[in-house]
Amino acid sequence: MGGFRRYHIPNQAVLGTALVFTASGALVGAWVSRIPAVVRDLDLSAGQLGRALFALGVGSLLSMPLTGHVCRRVGSRTWVGVTAVVSAVMLGLAGFAPGVWALGAALFGFGFAFGSWDVAMNVQGSAVDRVVGREWMPRYHACWSLGSILGAGAGSVAARAGLAPGPHLAVAAGVSLAAACAGLAGYLDERAVPLAPAGPDAADRRGRRRFVAGRGLLLIGLLTFCSTVAEGAAGDWLALYLDTGRGLSQASAALGYTVFAVAMTGGRFAGSTAVARLGRAGAVRLGGVLAVAGVAGTVLAPWTALTYAGALLWGLGICLVFPAAVSAAGETARPAEAIALVTSIGYGSILVGPPLIGAIADMTGLGPALLGLAGLGAAIALLAPVVRAPAGPGARLQDGSASIAR
């Protein structure tokens, strides 16, 4: 692994990690913003688009569980670089796809690479947090959300200018890749970062070679799953519910989701402060309570202003859960594999959440189906203790620097 030198974390690794998260979000935002144009150009039905997006989800879920093992072998810097290149190429190909089968194949490849990229950058973020001794993970995820907003905004400008999806996505992929590579220059080798002294499955430190998920880690995964179902439901159904269920105009319905997205981003930027004051478990518990109130307010509030307030609380309630779960997984005996497992369980909601909510909505209506998400908020509050940070003076390095292999 070469020699060692002092590596100043805050100025390089923190900023580099944040930049890679931003680049990742921008890539997704660019794709989402051009879905209508791709549907129009290829004359896709809703079912055909659904199957193409399903291929993307399947690709992600196939690669995510393997990423922890790969990162432990080659390091997250190398693997983020590889997967970022493949992600950029595959998204560019998706923009030029001549038909639904080519689109599905490109999106499968994009999902496979991008899902692995997602895990690898979270592995790096967890290691940086352990070295810094601060809970920066929420801010990394806030940078991802900000990147997705920037990517979608640029896509909107490209659509207004009449730019076809192919050239736009190729340029967007190139810019995102350049930003990711710039961020990688600040990455550290997380394999040289000391582990936290305690946490779920700490017994694995005694030399067990095969990664085995214990009860604590599975509970962290369950917590993650609850939060991603609640987050995904807002993206999939909130605007539709406000339009068809509450009778709002399409513009007002879109504003409801915008309120949710802004709350998610802002809450994550403020999340490090909240965790410092309340503790990780306390912040997640409060978030679960806010999510219950937010979902109930969104569905049951009699006035539009209160409905928007509900969407605000919904976003604030769940914004810290995923970053907290990643941080907790990173404090186990095998952090890379643990983060890969937790992230994979969370992203499993892509396949489970939409059809389940849709089936319930067919039987009861969309409002009651969404109201059931309040139960996930309650589950988040009850499961919050599983992400409690390990106690003790050696839990993280406190001096802001570490000897990292280069």
pLDDT tens digits for 322-334? Answer: 999 998 988 887 8
pLDDT of the residue at 259: 87
pLDDT of the residue at 209: 54
* Mean per-residue pLDDT, 124-130: 89
Among residues 200, 220, 211, the alpha carbon closest in space to that of 346 is found at 220
pLDDT of the residue at 1: 37
Question: Which structure tokens are listed for 232?
Answer: 């995904």
- Tens of pLDDT, residue by residue over 84-113, are 999 999 999 999 999 999 999 999 999 999
User: Which pTM was predicted?
Assistant: 0.80
* Mean per-residue pLDDT, 164-192: 93
Task: Compute how many other C-beta atoms are within 10 angstroms of the C-beta atom of residue 367.
Answer: 15
Among residues 226, 295, 11, 215, the alpha carbon closest in space to that of 132 is found at 11
Is the per-residue pLDDT at 302 higher than 60?
yes
**Length of the chain (residues):** 406
More confident residue, 373 or 135: 373
C-alpha 355/C-alpha 50 separation (Å) is: 11
Averaged pLDDT score across all residues of the chain:
84
pLDDT of the residue at 46: 66
Q: What is the DSSP string of 142-202?
A: HHHHHHHHHHHHHHHHHHHTT--HHHHHHHHHHHHHHHHHHHHTT---GGGSPPPS--TTG
Question: Mean pLDDT lowest for which of 23-27, 226-230, 305-309, 394-398?
Answer: 394-398
More confident residue, 292 or 397: 292
**Opening angle at CA 254, ends 323 and 26, nearest 5:** 45
C-alpha 42/C-alpha 101 separation (Å) is: 11
DSSP state of 233: H
Q: Please, where in the chain does CATH 1.20.1250.20 lie?
A: 4-194, 215-387
Among residues 149, 148, 152, 124, the alpha carbon closest in space to that of 136 is found at 124
C-alpha 170/C-alpha 133 separation (Å) is: 39
C-alpha 156/C-alpha 395 separation (Å) is: 45
Is the per-residue pLDDT at 233 higher than 90?
no
pLDDT of the residue at 391: 62
* Mean per-residue pLDDT, 65-90: 94
Q: Are 135 and 276 in contact, with CB atoms under 8 Å apart? A: yes
Question: Which structure tokens are listed for 107?
Answer: 């999106």
Question: Collapsing DSSP states into helix, strand and coil, what is residue 5?
Answer: strand
Q: Which residue has the tokens 């396949």?
A: 351
* CATH-assigned architecture of domain 215-387: Up-down Bundle (1.20)
Beta bridge pairs of residue 405: 4
pLDDT of the residue at 10: 59
C-alpha 137/C-alpha 122 separation (Å) is: 8
Domain 4-194: give its CATH code.
1.20.1250.20
